[in-house]
């Protein structure tokens, strides 16, 4: 039976960074196990966020359960199923979050996770083209750039934001997040900066790091209350490997609680329901799920040349492909949103509570990312720190059965009001004189959504997620609502840690890829210090 010092399950944003850092010590033998393939032909492209949004070759294609709070719809929950994880298919938007987020974690008992603790970790990750101001990193493994795309529509949107009373920001990843600005993105010279490229590619030259792809982990191996290894499946064979020191789960906010429950760790009544032996009762496994529910408003645009619905359709698509091939620029080089805004729905607030994504085109179907036929723009909004809590639990003892995802979106009145107020702010920005030359009619939701109740009903029945599930193995002191301590050790189990977005105590204010990589980096520091 093979044995390694450390076994990391999941080669996504946190797991790849963690495994690469642990392997820096040549005395450590490290195994990284990934359920998906080693790569995908599109995963180096920025536009793969659209090409792989509904592709089972690199995407788990999870779906939520139909719920009355969101129009009894199944909502897509795409997650990366490839080396690089969701960093290989995400929208490439780089957001650290607010100091308030991490200070809240520390206040909730996660010692060592305040802003002052995690800011240096973000700096360590980044190779930011904007320079070292505001504590930004300039020699880390992951290159971060500002969207270079130019468009008169962007200029008009900036002016409209100012006319609506908002400021322009050059760096929302400073300690002051507020304002409207160009998106910072994990793209360099038109190439996606996934963790597979930035962390694993250089690390795999080391003989002490082994990466096994196409190998879904089926269960954790326990001897009493100690984790001693895992069982993974490859080509129809189940293979057990042992960890001399530790196993670290980095399978993500969906798959990590699923794996724990399949291994007999979790809420006893759920495990017994499916005939799984309860090896360790831990009631918070799979609970405390949060995600961003995202309301996408669409407007017609009167100047076709500023919209990629015109520029990237038909012969325009060929031109954009040639532009990317020759310059690494244009439509195929963009992140999911070239402009972002972080704003306060109430001026009395200390920090922003909503995020807007501003996009110079619109799509028919969020599942397939097919462009609308007419020139348009999309302004979407979501609440940065939602209060509504959901859950993720197994639906059977079969690891091939996708888990049951319940979001419970908009069940908290605070969330309802914030989303309505946020969309009204979007409308106010779009209505400003600076956009008169570009703005056409509101296509969705359109004039039918007049009152607050109308807007809330539209959000319930049409919104998707922003693809940011977190919190299902929450970090904090031992108690009924936590799974790991501030050293990421699973409560009551020796030799087992978790390092991915499932440990977030609360939602960071923004996109979750950067915080997930931060968790992988910080986990490596914690484990190295312990060793």
Contact 470, 507 (CB under 8 A): yes
Q: What is the DSSP string of 30-42?
A: EEEE-SS-S--TT
**Burial of 499 from C-beta contacts in 10 A (0-12 / 13-18 / 19+):** buried
CA distance 421 to 432: 17
Q: Which H/E stretch holds residue 315?
A: helix 315-327
Distance (Å, whole) CA 137 – CA 119: 10
**75, 460 in Cβ contact below 8 A?**
no
Helix (H) or strand (E) holding 143: strand 142-146
Task: Tell me whether strands 62-63 and 217-223 are parallel, antiparallel or unpaired.
Answer: unpaired
CA dist 216 and 218 (Å) reads: 6
Is the omega angle on the peptide bond into residue 417 within 30 degrees of 0, that is, cis? no
Q: 3-state DSSP helix/strand/coil percent for the chain, to nearest 5?
A: 30, 25, 45
226-234 and 217-223 strand pairing? antiparallel
CB atoms within 10 A of CB 2: 12
Determine the Cα–Cα distance for residues 509 and 177; give it in Å rounded to an integer.
Answer: 9
Contacts of 383 (CB under 8 A, 6+ apart): 292, 293, 353, 354, 415, 418, 419, 422
- Assess whether 468 carries a catalytic annotation: yes
Give the integer Cα–Cα distance in Å for 318 and 173: 35
Name the catalytic one among 166, 188, 468, 491.
468
For residue 103 the two structure tokens come to 């200070």
The stretches of 392-445 forming alpha helices (DSSP H) are 413-430
DSSP string, 169-236: -S-TTSS---EEEEPEESEETTEE--HIIIIIHHHTTSTTEEEE-S--EEEEEEETTEEEEEEEEETT
- Catalytic residue numbers read 468
């Amino acid at each position: 039976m093979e044995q390694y010092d450390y076994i990391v399950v999941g080669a996504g944003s946190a797991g790849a960074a963690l495994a690469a850092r642990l392997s820096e010590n040549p005395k450590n033998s490290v195994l990284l196990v990934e359920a998906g393939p080693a790569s995908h032909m599109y995963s180096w492209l920025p536009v793969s966020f659209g090409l792989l949004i509904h592709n089972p070759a690199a995407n788990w294609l999870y779906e939520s359960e139909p719920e009355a709070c969101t129009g009894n719809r199944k909502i897509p929950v795409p997650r990366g199923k490839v080396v690089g994880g969701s960093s290989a298919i995400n929208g490439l938007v780089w957001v650290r979050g607010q100091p308030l987020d991490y200070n809240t974690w520390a206040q909730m008992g996660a010692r060592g996770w305040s802003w002052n603790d995690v800011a240096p970790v973000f700096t360590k990750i980044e190779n930011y083209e904007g320079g070292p101001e505001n504590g930004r990193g300039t020699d880390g493994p992951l290159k971060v750039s500002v969207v270079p795309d130019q468009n008169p529509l962007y200029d008009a949107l900036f002016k409209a934001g100012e006319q609506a009373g908002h400021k322009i920001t050059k760096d929302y990843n400073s300690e002051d997040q507020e304002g409207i600005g160009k998106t910072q993105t994990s793209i360099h010279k038109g190439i996606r900066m996934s963790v597979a490229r930035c962390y694993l590619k250089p690390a795999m030259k080391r003989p002490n790091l082994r990466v096994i792809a196409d190998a879904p982990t089926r269960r954790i191996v326990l001897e009493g209350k100690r984790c001693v290894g895992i069982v993974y499946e490859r080509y129809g064979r189940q293979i057990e490997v042992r960890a001399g020191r530790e196993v670290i789960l980095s399978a993500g906010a969906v798959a990590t609680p699923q794996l724990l429950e399949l291994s007999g760790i979790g809420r006893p009544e759920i495990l017994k329901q499916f005939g799984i032996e309860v090896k360790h009762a831990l009631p918070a496994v799979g609970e405390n799920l949060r995600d961003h529910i995202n309301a996408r408003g669409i407007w017609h645009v009167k100047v076709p040349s500023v919209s990629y619905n015109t520029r990237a359709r038909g012969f325009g698509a060929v031109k954009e492909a040639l532009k990317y091939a020759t310059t690494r620029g244009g439509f195929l080089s963009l992140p999911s949103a070239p402009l972002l805004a972080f704003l306060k729905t109430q001026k009395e607030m200390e920090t922003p509570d909503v995020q807007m994504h501003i996009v110079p085109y619109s799509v028919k179907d969020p599942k397939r990312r097919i462009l609308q036929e007419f020139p348009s723009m999309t302004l979407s909004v979501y609440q940065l720190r939602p209060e509504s809590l959901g859950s993720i639990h197994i639906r059977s003892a079969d690891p091939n059965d996708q888990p049951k995802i319940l979001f419970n979106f908009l069940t908290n009145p605070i969330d309802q009001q914030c989303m309505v107020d946020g969309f009204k702010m979007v409308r106010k920005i779009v209505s400003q004189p600076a956009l008169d030359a570009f703005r056409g009619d509101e296509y969705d939701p359109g004039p039918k959504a007049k009152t607050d109740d109308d807007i809330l009903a539209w959000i319930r029945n049409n919104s998707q997620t922003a693809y940011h599930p977190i919190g299902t193995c929450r970090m904090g002191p031992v108690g009924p609502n936590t799974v790991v301590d501030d050293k990421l050790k699973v409560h009551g189990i020796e030799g087992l840690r978790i390092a991915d977005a499932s440990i977030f105590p609360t939602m960071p204010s923004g996109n979750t890829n950067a915080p997930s990589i931060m968790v992988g980096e910080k986990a490596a520091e914690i484990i190295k210090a312990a060793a």
